Amino acid sequence: MTPSVLLSDPEKRIEAEAAGAVEAAPELQLRIRGLRKSYPGRGLVLDGIELDVFKGEAVALIGSNGCGKSTLLRCSLRLIEPDEAETSFLGHEVQNLRRSALRKLRAKVGFVFQKHNLVLRSSVLTNVIHGSFARMPGFQVWSQATAPKHIREEAMYCLQRVGLAHLAASRADRLSGGESQRVALARALMQRPQFLMADEPVASLDPRVGDEVMDLLLGLTRQEDLTLLYVSHNLDHALKFADRIVGIQKGQVRLNAPANTLSTSALRELYGASDDG
Partner 1 sequence: MADLPPQKRMDVPGLPRFALYFLGIVFFIWSCNGANLSLPDLIEGIPNMGRVLGEMSPPDFSRISFVSKSMLVTFQMALVGTVFGVFFSFFLAILATRSQTPSPILYYMARFVISFCRSVPDLVWAIFFVASVGLGTFAGTLTIMVDTIGFCGRFFAEAMEEVDDGPQEALSTMGAGRMSIIQSAVVPSAMPSFVNSSLFALEKAVRSSVVLGLVGAGGIGIELKVAMDLFQYQQAGTIILSIFVLVLCVEQLSSAIRRKIM
Q: Note whether 182 binds partner 1 by CB under 8 A.
A: no
Q: How far is the CB of 6 from partner 1 (least distance, A)?
A: 31
Q: How far is the CB of 185 from partner 1 (least distance, A)?
A: 12
Contact (CB, 8 A) for 182 and 163: yes
Q: How far is the CB of 109 from partner 1 (least distance, A)?
A: 7
Q: How far is the CB of 127 from partner 1 (least distance, A)?
A: 9
Which residue of 8, 70, 87, 191 would you call a contact of partner 1, by CB under 8 A?
Answer: 191
Binding-site size, partner 1 (CB under 8 A):
30
Q: Collect all residues with Cβ–Cβ distance below 8 Å to 115 and sequence separation of at least 6.
A: 204
Which residue of 16, 48, 92, 142 would you call a contact of partner 1, by CB under 8 A?
Answer: 142
Q: Note whether 79 binds partner 1 by CB under 8 A.
A: yes
Which residue of 13, 37, 69, 130 would you call a contact of partner 1, by CB under 8 A?
Answer: 130
Binding track, positions 89-128, relative to partner 1; x by CB under 8 A: --------------xx-xx-x-x-x-xxxxxxxx---x--
User: 18 or 145, CB closer to partner 1?
Assistant: 145
Q: How far is the CB of 143 from partner 1 (least distance, A)?
A: 7
Q: Which amino acid is at 162?
A: V
Find, among 210, 257, 209, the residue nearest to 233 by Cα. Answer: 210
Q: Which amino acid is at 263?
A: S
Q: Note whether 42 binds partner 1 by CB under 8 A.
A: no
Q: How far is the CB of 134 from partner 1 (least distance, A)?
A: 3
Find, among 30, 43, 41, 42, the residue nearest to 85 by Cα. Answer: 30
Coil vs helix vs strand at 108: coil
Report d(CA 244, CA 257) in Å as an integer: 6
Helices 149-161 and 177-190: crossing angle in degrees, nearest 10, is: 130
Task: Give exposure, 67-95, as e/b (b: 16+ Cβ within 10 Å).
Answer: bbbbbbbbbbbbeeebeebebbbbeeebe
Which residue of 20, 41, 138, 272 would you call a contact of partner 1, by CB under 8 A?
Answer: 138
Q: Note whether 37 binds partner 1 by CB under 8 A.
A: no
Near partner 1 in 243-272, by CB under 8 A: none
Coil vs helix vs strand at 76: helix
Q: Note whether 170 binds partner 1 by CB under 8 A.
A: no
User: 73 or 238, CB closer to partner 1?
Assistant: 73
- Phi, psi torsion values for 111, nearest 5 degrees: -120, 120
Contact (CB, 8 A) for 47 and 36: yes
- Phi, psi torsion values for 212, nearest 5 degrees: -60, -45
How many angstroms from the chain centroid is the CA of residue 262? Answer: 21
State the residues that interact with partner 1 by CB under 8 A.
77, 79, 103-104, 106-107, 109, 111, 113, 115-122, 126, 130-131, 133-134, 138-139, 141-143, 184, 187, 191
